[in-house]
């Protein structure tokens, strides 16, 4: 396997700045103890290494779909998107995700999603709900999507090999959990961590 070269994750993406907030749709993992234990097992050997910002359990997330910066999305549009997503999720059933060993990416240590298709279908429904309200031309991001859940972000440059070796030293059973809702959150990255307040939580009730 080719060596991964790490880079700093915390460069400022277009539009972002200290104090700015974004409406975005995530799957969050509050109360998902099996995932929290798995993450702790893989984060433990990373404690001895430099160059990473490990993600606390409360901020673990699966990024789904951005809506827009809070100062650019009228409040009534944000509420209408939530209502539309809620309608669509009435026919969307809860689904299982399995998390195994994480991999080293140039900007993060992350789990790939297995299976990815239910989450992809959910994202497509969220995107359609946004397009219904705001128009397809205002959809943030493209349809291309690589679903993942990060456990640490890179804050420097260098080789990813020490991180891979640390992860390879862990022997632990995969975590299986059930996703029962999707959240629209108000996200910030002021403190070199993705932190949020929940704007609305939409259950999958199908």
Q: Residues 40-70: pLDDT tens digits?
A: 999 999 999 999 999 999 999 999 999 999 9
Task: Say what the pLDDT of residue 8 is.
Answer: 97
Which is it for the CA torsion 83, 87, 89, 93, positive or negative?
positive
Task: Say what the pLDDT of residue 192 is.
Answer: 95
Kindly state whether residue 147 falls inside one of the protein's structural domains. yes
Percent of residues in the chain assigned helix, strand, coil, to nearest 5 = 30, 30, 35
What span, in angstroms and rounded, lies between the C-alpha atoms of 171 and 84?
Answer: 43
Kindly state whether residue 14 falls inside one of the protein's structural domains. no
Q: State the residue range of the domain holding 24.
A: 19-203
Kindly state whether residue 86 falls inside one of the protein's structural domains. yes
Contact criterion met (CB below 8 Å) for 46 and 109: yes
Kindly state whether residue 10 falls inside one of the protein's structural domains. no
Kindly state whether residue 1 falls inside one of the protein's structural domains. no
What span, in angstroms and rounded, lies between the C-alpha atoms of 24 and 57?
Answer: 19
Residues of the chain with pLDDT under 70: 1
Kindly state whether residue 113 falls inside one of the protein's structural domains. yes
**Domains held by the chain: number:** 1
Kindly state whether residue 119 falls inside one of the protein's structural domains. yes
Q: Which residues, in sequence order, are CB contacts of 44 under 8 Å at separation 6+?
A: 170
Q: What is the CATH number of the domain that holds 100?
A: 3.90.1140.10
């Amino acid at each position: 396997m080719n060596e991964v070269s790490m880079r700093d994750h915390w460069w400022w993406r277009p539009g972002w700045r200290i104090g700015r907030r974004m409406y975005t749709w995530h799957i969050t993992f509050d109360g998902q103890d099996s995932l929290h234990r798995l993450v702790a097992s893989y984060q433990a050997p990373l404690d001895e290494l430099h160059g990473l910002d490990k993600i606390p359990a409360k901020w673990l997330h699966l990024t789904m779909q951005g809506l827009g910066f809070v100062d650019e999305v009228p409040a009534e549009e944000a509420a209408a998107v939530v209502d539309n997503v809620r309608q669509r999720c009435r026919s969307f059933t809860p689904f299982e995700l399995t998390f195994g060993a994480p991999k080293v990416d140039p900007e993060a240590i992350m789990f790939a999603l297995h299976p990815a298709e239910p989450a992809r279908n959910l994202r497509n429904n969220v995107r359609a709900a946004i397009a219904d309200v705001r128009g397809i031309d205002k959809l943030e991001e493209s349809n291309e999507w690589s679903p993942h859940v990060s456990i640490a972000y890179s804050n420097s440059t260098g080789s990813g090999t020490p991180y891979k070796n640390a992860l390879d030293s862990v022997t632990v059973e995969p975590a299986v959990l059930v996703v029962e809702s999707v959240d629209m959150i108000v996200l910030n990255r002021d403190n070199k961590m993705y932190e949020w307040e929940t704007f609305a939580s939409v259950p999958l009730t199908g």
